[in-house]
Amino acid sequence: MIYELGNYKFEVLEIDGISQPTDYDIEHIKYFLSENPERNKIMIDIGAYLGLFSIIYSQFFETVYAIEPNKESFEYLENNIKLNGCNNVIPMNIGISNSGPWRLVSVIKIDDLFKTADFIKTNTGNDIDVLRSGSLLLKNSSPFIQADVSILDGFELGYDCMSDPYDKNCYFRR
C-alpha cells in the first residue's frame, strides 16, 4: 500500500499507527537550524521504522543515518529511500542500546558507531537507554535531540527541554 505525505510516498503495511513528522516537529528543526546553521551535517534517526522521519528530515541535513533493527521494517525503509530518491539517507540494520541485547536483537552503542552528530531523533520504546549509549557523543557534540523521554531524563543527560514536557516527542538542547 502506498501512503502519500506531501511530496513524499511511502510503502507501508497499514496506515493506522504510522508515526510521522508533524508541522510542530518541522518547526522545531527549522528553529534549531536557524540558530545553528552550521549544525546541518549529520542526523541520526534511531528507530527509523519505515523511514518517514529520516526521509522528510533529509531535506535539512547533509547525511541521515536511518537505524532500524527489525528486518521487515528495514526492507520497507530501504524501499522508501529508493522510492523518494533520498541519496543522503543511509539505512543501517542494527539495534542501538546501552544494555546489551534488546528484544532479541543484537545491539551496539551510539558511541561505537558515531563520533559526532548534529541531531538525534530516537523512537524505540527505550529512548533513555539508547541515548545513554551515546554519552561521549552527547558530551562532545551536544546534538539537538528529539525523543520520548522525561524532562528529568533530559536533565540527567545534561540537556534542557525546549518543548511542552507533556508532548510525546520532547526536544532537548544543551
For 140-161, the pLDDT digits (tens) are 999 999 998 887 788 888 888 8
Output phi, psi for 121, to 5 deg.
-115, 125
- Mean pLDDT over 44-63 rounds to 96
**What is the structure's pLDDT at 36?**
94
**What is the structure's pLDDT at 59?**
97
Q: Which residues, other chains included, contact 23 with Cβ-Cβ below 8 Å and sequence gap of 6+?
A: none
**Assigned C-alpha cell, 157:** 543527560
More confident residue, 156 or 34: 34
Q: Which of 25-34, 38-47, 95-104, 120-129 has the highest mean pLDDT?
A: 38-47
**What is the structure's pLDDT at 15?**
64
**Assigned C-alpha cell, 14:** 497499514
**What is the structure's pLDDT at 150?**
80
pLDDT tens, residue by residue, 84-111: 999 999 999 999 998 876 666 778 999 9
- Mean pLDDT over 45-74 rounds to 96
Q: Which of 11-20, 79-88, 151-160 has the highest mean pLDDT?
A: 79-88
Give the residue from 53, 70, 55, 56 showing the smallest Cα distance to 19.
53
CATH number for 40-173 (one of 3.40.630.30, 3.40.50.150, 3.40.50.720, 3.40.50.300): it is 3.40.50.150
**What is the structure's pLDDT at 5?**
87
